[in-house]
Amino acid sequence: MAPGRPAMAAAGAAAVLLVIAVGATAAEEPTERVASARPAAQFLDAMGVNTHWGYAATPYGSAYQSVLGRLVDLDLRHVRDGFNDRIEDLAEHGIATDVIVNPADGAPEAIKDRIAALNRRHRAIDAVEGPNEADLTWPKARPPTQFAGKGFPEGVVAFQHALYAAIKGDPATAAITVIGPSLGRTYNPGGGFPNPFAAGALGDAVDWGNFHPYPFGGNPFSPTFPYGSLAKYYHEADFPSVNLDEYPYGFQVYGPPFAPKPMAATETGYATYRGSFLERIGGVSETVQAKYVPRLYAEYFRLGVARTYLYELADEKADPASTDREAHFGLLRHDLSPKPAYIALRSLTRLLSEADAASRSQAPLRQLRFILRAEFPPGYSRLRDIHHLLLQKTDGELLLLLWHEIANDDISTRPPREIAPAGVWVRLAFAELPQGIVQYDYDKDWTLAPHPPRVAGNAIEIEIPDRLTILRIGKVAAARR
């Protein structure tokens, strides 16, 4: 953006606090948006990560203390796993477990009693989840898994209802969140392959629904159109919201059995795996994973996902030849060195964290009204892809997260062709420029680095990249009346 571009006037509504303004594009007119703040602590509480503490031949088992140290340093408070002997120790470090259960773990009443026992000293288990990817696991077991004499899917539905009744029927466990069972296959109702759980079949047996909306496969159920350097955008893209936002296949196909309950993404993420030419789906580079992971948590929270458990914390085995995709989903490498995504996420959680938040009451949540335009680089023009999330700390401080929700990979090639689009220049014009604004951008080491924003009169000029950028606003001018 050229220096000196005239700032837009504040919008006419009396409650306007902030205007985001940039040159309009020919394709779209500027739009007025209202950002309603959500508690920063709520966003942090919506983040989780998958673990496998019972896998003895992986770092989870062979280097438990080191993996735990990395987890504590990451400042995520929720993990997802099966029953294991680390649950109480994790609770000692302030980390709660979502425990996945199956009929093999016992009758629902016995599962409830086991959870109550683990929770006597600490809230070690804060969620219990029905069978994992039962469409894959139940029929393949030998003999096939059943409950009450029924296999998949009827037995899963019956088990989930019995589990919910047991958990909610005991005061010792009634406050625990009950998450529904997940599916592992890709369903296409329009192609004659509908979700095996009927609409509404599980809505009264869960607090949260469940799905695994991994974005790395693109969205083959969206319309076909060219955008950027991709001939079939969405089909050939793997950005975090590819199947949840504009073309929300994930919600539309996997949500109806749990309606009207919110959804939890108990697995999602990216493997840092290059793959072979013959494979349909590969992985992403460590650089792209670092761009996508903070955006993924922000996107899912923005779209109303109750909690997101990234898959997973650590690479389960060494695979220097990159021949096994399942070995590369971690935020940590097999030797427990941090990937850039780990560093980028840790920097974000530290900015969100509040050491004394528990002793404070939440200040009244604020709103920011703004007009959003964008001056796009060549090949890009979609105003809707400039996303924002407004968070508020307990003392009233605001964090405005901004990013360009754009593809960083072309998954039609093997390995995927990496894309690094130029940033989008925006101008944030205030009715009155607040004091104490600090801008945070990821530096070359993937740490959110603070610096003074570029100020022009009552405006801030900022380049929004394909990764999070954050404005920390300590004081906001009161609304004019």
Which residue type occupies 401?
L
User: Are 287 and 392 members of one domain?
Assistant: no
Specify the residue for token string 């796009």: 376
Residue 8 has what pLDDT?
28
Among the three residues 306, 327, 358, which one is the final residue of a domain in this structure? 358
Query: What is the percent of the chain with per-residue pLDDT over 90, rounded to a whole number?
Result: 77
Name the band, by pLDDT with cuts 50, 70 and 90, for residue 355: low
pLDDT in tens, 364-379: 898 877 777 789 999 9
Is the domain of 80 the same as that of 210? yes
Do 253 and 334 belong to one domain?
yes
User: Residue 434 above 80 pLDDT?
Assistant: no
pLDDT band, residue 460 (cuts 50/70/90): confident
Residue 59 included in any domain = yes
Q: Specify the pLDDT at position 61.
A: 97
pLDDT of residue 358: 58
Does a structural domain hold residue 480?
Answer: no
The tally of domains found in the chain comes to 2
- Per-residue confidence (pLDDT) for residue 475, from 0 to 100: 54
Does residue 129 lie within any of the structural domains?
yes
Show which of 324, 358, 392 is a domain's final residue.
358
What confidence category does residue 276 fall into, taking pLDDT thresholds of 50, 70 and 90? low
Average pLDDT, the chain: 89
Cα–chain center distance at 190: 27
Establish if 185 belongs to a structural domain.
Answer: yes
Say whether pLDDT at 346 is over 90. Answer: yes
407 and 297 inside one domain: no
Average pLDDT rounded to a whole number, residues 394-405: 94
Q: Assign 233 a pLDDT band (cuts: 50, 70, 90).
A: very high
Residue 390 and residue 466 in one domain = yes
Question: Do 286 and 386 reside in the same domain of the chain?
Answer: no
Give domain status of residue 118, yes or no.
yes
Give the residue carrying structure tokens 């140290």: 69
- Band (pLDDT 50/70/90 cuts) for residue 481 is very low
Is 142 found in the same domain as 66? yes
Most confident of 241-255, 312-326, 427-441: 241-255
Segment 333-362 mean pLDDT:
88
Beta bridge partners, 460, equal 428, 455
pLDDT, one tens digit per residue, over 125-176 is: 999 999 999 999 999 999 999 999 999 999 999 999 999 999 999 999 999 9
Domain extent at residue 85: 42-358
| CATH number where 416 lies | 2.60.40
Domain-located, residue 70 = yes
Task: Report percent pLDDT > 70 for the chain.
Answer: 89
Residue 327 maps to a domain: yes
Say whether pLDDT at 336 is over 80: yes
- 76 and 200 in a single domain? The answer is yes
- When pLDDT is averaged across residues 48-56 and rounded to a whole number, the result is 97
What mean pLDDT is predicted for residues 297-318? 98
Cβ proximity of 44 and 354 under 8 Å: no
With cut-offs at 50, 70 and 90, classify the pLDDT of residue 288. Answer: very high
Judged against a pLDDT cut of 80, whether residue 71 lies above it is answered with: yes
Contact 19, 11 (CB under 8 A): yes
The answer on 206 and 158 residing in a single domain is yes
Same domain, 130 and 202: yes
Q: Which of 44-58, 342-356, 367-381, 462-476 has the highest mean pLDDT?
A: 44-58
Both 342 and 206 in a single domain? yes
Q: Would the pLDDT of 390 be above 70?
A: yes
pLDDT at 421 over 70: yes
**Does residue 274 have a pLDDT over 80?**
no
Q: Among residues 445, 472, 237, which one has the least CA distance to residue 342?
A: 445
Contact of 33 with 17, CB cutoff 8 Å: no
In a domain, 325, yes or no: yes
Q: What CATH number has the domain bearing residue 231? A: 3.20.20.80
Average pLDDT over residues 217-226: 94
- Determine the average pLDDT of the residues in 37-54: 97
- pLDDT, residue 34, reads 77
Q: What ranges in 303-375 are assigned the alpha helix state H?
A: 340-352
Distance CA 298, CA 293 (A): 9
pLDDT of 52 over the 80 cut: yes
Asked if residue 415 and residue 289 are part of one domain, the reply reads no
CB 25 within 8 A of CB 373: yes
Q: Give the 3-state secondary structure of residue 436.
A: coil
3-state SS class at 81: strand
Sorted by sequence, the CB contacts under 8 Å of residue 110 that are 6+ apart come out as none
pTM over 0.75: yes
CB 309 within 8 A of CB 80: yes
Task: Provide the pLDDT for residue 279.
Answer: 58
Those residues with Cβ within 8 angstroms of residue 132's Cβ, 6 or more apart along the chain or in another chain: 100, 102, 181, 182, 266
| The pLDDT value given to residue 359 | 56
The domain boundary residue, chosen from 358, 388, 417? 358
Residue 427 pLDDT level (bands cut at 50, 70, 90): confident
